[in-house]
Amino acid sequence: QVQLVESGGGLVQAGGSLRLSCAASGRTFSSYAMGWFRQAPGKEREFAAGISASGRMTSYGDSVKGRFTISRDNAKNTVYLQMNSLKPEDTAVYYCAARPYSAVVTSIRGYDYWGQGTQVTVSS
């Protein structure tokens, strides 16, 4: 029903910025809450940021709060993750996820659709 494709990952120096994009298929994108999750080497996948279907509500994991900003453009079927003040600890594969409900949740099981992931590497 929904296909998600992430882009924008790459190598960046500590303190730098990067913007990830997630392009979604389908005609019902505006009714889906969206999330970004990340999985660092040797660690479990964790919630980074989420945004409600309307874009009015956002949520962030403690480790990224104040540095990352999630946004969406429903006209373009795209969600973004602006990452500033990047740290080596942010190095991970970042995944875009969607759920067919309006509200954001932080659990992996709450999302039905997932992208393939994009690698973000922050050097020291």
Pairing of strands 33-39, 46-51: antiparallel
Could you write out the DSSP letters of every residue in 16-84?
--EEEEEEE-SS-GGG-EEEEEEE-TTS--EEEEEE-TTSS-EEE-TTTTTTEEEEEEGGGTEEEEEE-
Rounded Cα distance, 15 and 83, in Å: 10
Average pLDDT of the segment spanning 104-124: 97
Q: Is 64 exposed, middle or buried (0-12, 13-18, 19+ CB in 10 A)?
A: buried
Q: What is the pLDDT of residue 5?
A: 97
The model's pLDDT over 34-61, given as tens digits with 9 standing for 90+, comes to: 999 999 999 999 999 999 999 999 999 9
Rounded Cα distance, 18 and 6, in Å: 13
